[in-house]
C-alpha cells in the first residue's frame, strides 16, 4: 500500500503542472454539460504519470532496476490496448468512441513521456528534458491561458528542436510504434519485445496472503507437479530452497528469480506449516525434482553489461547525477 500511495500521491501532485498550468481550451473552459475533449491526454495524463516515476528514480526513492520493472509493467499494460490508433485521435474521442482505450494514458502515455524526455536529452547534450519543457510551456501559457489543440506541437517544436516536432507527429499524432529499442539503448538498456525463458513451475496452486504468510488457498487448478509435491489447502509457506519467504511486496520477484534459475535435475524444496485436525501446526518438508518448461516473457529490459561513455553520460544527465 505504501508504494501505491507514493505512486498515486506523486501522480496527482504533478497535475499541478498539467493540466492545471498547461491546457487547451477544451480543458481550461471545460463544459460540464456538453463535455468536449482535447487531443493531448498524452501530456495531461501521460507526462504526469511519467514524472511520477521519473521523480522517484531521480531522487533515490526507488533504484534503477525497480524503475525498469515499472516500465516493463507499463509496456505489458500497453499491449492490452490498440497500439495503431494515434494517441491524439484516441484522446479526442475518449469520451465516447475510444472510451475503452482510456487506461492506456497511464501505460503508453507514460512511455511517450519517457521517449520524449530521452530524445530531448539526446538533442540537448543532456541539458534539457521534459521537466524543462513543462516549465517553458507553463511560462508560454499558464493557468489562465489556454492553447488551441492544433498549435501545441508547433509551440513545443519552437521551444525545442525540429526533431521533436517530427517525433510528436510520427508517434503521438501518427500511428507508428514508439522506438523503444532505440530509446532504451540510449540510456544503456536492452529492450527485447519477447524472449523465451526456461522456467520451473511451483505447481500452479492458488496462493493467498493471510497477513503474515503466503498460503495455499486453492488446489483445484494444481498441476501434476503440484500433486507430486503434495501441497494441501491451508499450507503456510515458510521457506523455499532454504530461503525464507520475503515481504509480500517482494514475493513475485523472489519467486521469478528462483524459478528462472532452476535447471532440470534441481530440486524444489518447500517447507510449509500444516495444521492437523486439532489445529496443531507442524512443519512439513515437500520436495521434488523440478520440471522445467519454456515460457514467453514480454518487454524484457536489461542493462547492457558494458556501457559506452555516451550511454553513461546520457543516463546521468537524465537522472540528474553529477
To Zn ion, the closest distance from the beta carbon of 14 in angstroms equals 8
Nearest to 81 by CA among 112, 47, 56, 59: 112
Q: Which residue lies nearer to Zn ion by CB, 105 or 272?
A: 105
Q: Which residue lies nearer to Zn ion by CB, 12 or 224?
A: 12
To Zn ion, the closest distance from the beta carbon of 3 in angstroms equals 17
To Zn ion, the closest distance from the beta carbon of 87 in angstroms equals 15
How is 9-31 classified by DSSP, letter by letter?
A: HHHHHHTIIIIIIS-BHHHHT--
Q: Which residue lies nearer to Zn ion by CB, 105 or 216?
A: 105
Give, as ranges, the residues between 28 and 47 that touch Zn ion (CB under 5 A): 45
Distance between CA atoms of residues 313 and 125, nearest Å: 9
Q: What angle do CA 209, 250, 253 make, to 5 degrees?
A: 110
Give, as ranges, the residues between 44 and 63 that touch Zn ion (CB under 5 A): 45
Residue nearest to Zn ion (CB): 45
Question: For residues 199, 204, 209 and 213, what is the CA-based torsion angle, rounded to 10 degrees?
Answer: -70
Count the residues of the shown chain that bind Zn ion, applying the rule CB under 5 A. Answer: 1
Q: Which residue lies nearer to Zn ion by CB, 52 or 116?
A: 52
Nearest to 53 by CA among 318, 264, 296, 309: 318
Beta bridge partners of 194: 298
Q: Which residue lies nearer to Zn ion by CB, 27 or 186?
A: 27
Alpha carbon of 209 to those of 110, 231, 249, 322: distances in Å? 31, 16, 11, 42
Alpha carbon of 314 to those of 67, 106, 144, 177: distances in Å? 16, 25, 35, 23
To Zn ion, the closest distance from the beta carbon of 116 in angstroms equals 17
To Zn ion, the closest distance from the beta carbon of 9 in angstroms equals 12
To Zn ion, the closest distance from the beta carbon of 107 in angstroms equals 13
Q: Which residue lies nearer to Zn ion by CB, 108 or 315?
A: 108
Residues in contact with Zn ion by CB under 5 A are 45
Amino acid at each position: 500500500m505504501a508504494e501505491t500511495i507514493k505512486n498515486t500521491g506523486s501522480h496527482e501532485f504533478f497535475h499541478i503542472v498539467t493540466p492545471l498550468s498547461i491546457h487547451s481550451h477544451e480543458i481550461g473552459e471545460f463544459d460540464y454539460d456538453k463535455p468536449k475533449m482535447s487531443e493531448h491526454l498524452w501530456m495531461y495524463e501521460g507526462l504526469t504519470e511519467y514524472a511520477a516515476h521519473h521523480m522517484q528514480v531521480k531522487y533515490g526513492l526507488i533504484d534503477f532496476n525497480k524503475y525498469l520493472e515499472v516500465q516493463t509493467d507499463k509496456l505489458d499494460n500497453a499491449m492490452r490496448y490498440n497500439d495503431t490508433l494515434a494517441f491524439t485521435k484516441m484522446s479526442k474521442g475518449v469520451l465516447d468512441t475510444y472510451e475503452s482505450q482510456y487506461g492506456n494514458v497511464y501505460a503508453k502515455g507514460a512511455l511517450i513521456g519517457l521517449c520524449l524526455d530521452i530524445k530531448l536529452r539526446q538533442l540537448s547534450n543532456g541539458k534539457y528534458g521534459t521537466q524543462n519543457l513543462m516549465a517553458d510551456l507553463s511560462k508560454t501559457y499558464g493557468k489562465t491561458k489556454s492553447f488551441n489543440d492544433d498549435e501545441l506541437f508547433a509551440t513545443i517544436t519552437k521551444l525545442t528542436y525540429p526533431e521533436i516536432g517530427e517525433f510528436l507527429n510520427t508517434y503521438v499524432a501518427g500511428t507508428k510504434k514508439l522506438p523503444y529499442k532505440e530509446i532504451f539503448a540510449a540510456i544503456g538498456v536492452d529492450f527485447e519485445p519477447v524472449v523465451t525463458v526456461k522456467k520451473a513451475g511451483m505447481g500452479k496452486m492458488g496462493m493467498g496472503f493471510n497477513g503474515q504468510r503466503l498460503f495455499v488457498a486453492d488446489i483445484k487448478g494444481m498441476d501434476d507437479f503440484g500433486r507430486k509435491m503434495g501441497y494441501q489447502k491451508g499450507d503456510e509457506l515458510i521457506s523455499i530452497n532454504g530461503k525464507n519467504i520475503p515481504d509480500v511486496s517482494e514475493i513475485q520477484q523472489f519467486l521469478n528469480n528462483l524459478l528462472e534459475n532452476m535447471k532440470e535435475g534441481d530440486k524444489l524444496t518447500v517447507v510449509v506449516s500444516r495444521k492437523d485436525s486439532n489445529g496443531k501446526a507442524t512443519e512439513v518438508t515437500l520436495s521434488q525434482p523440478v520440471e522445467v518448461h519454456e515460457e514467453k516473457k514480454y518487454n524484457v529490459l536489461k542493462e547492457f553489461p558494458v556501457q559506452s561513455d555516451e550511454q553513461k553520460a546520457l543516463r546521468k544527465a537524465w537522472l540528474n547525477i553529477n
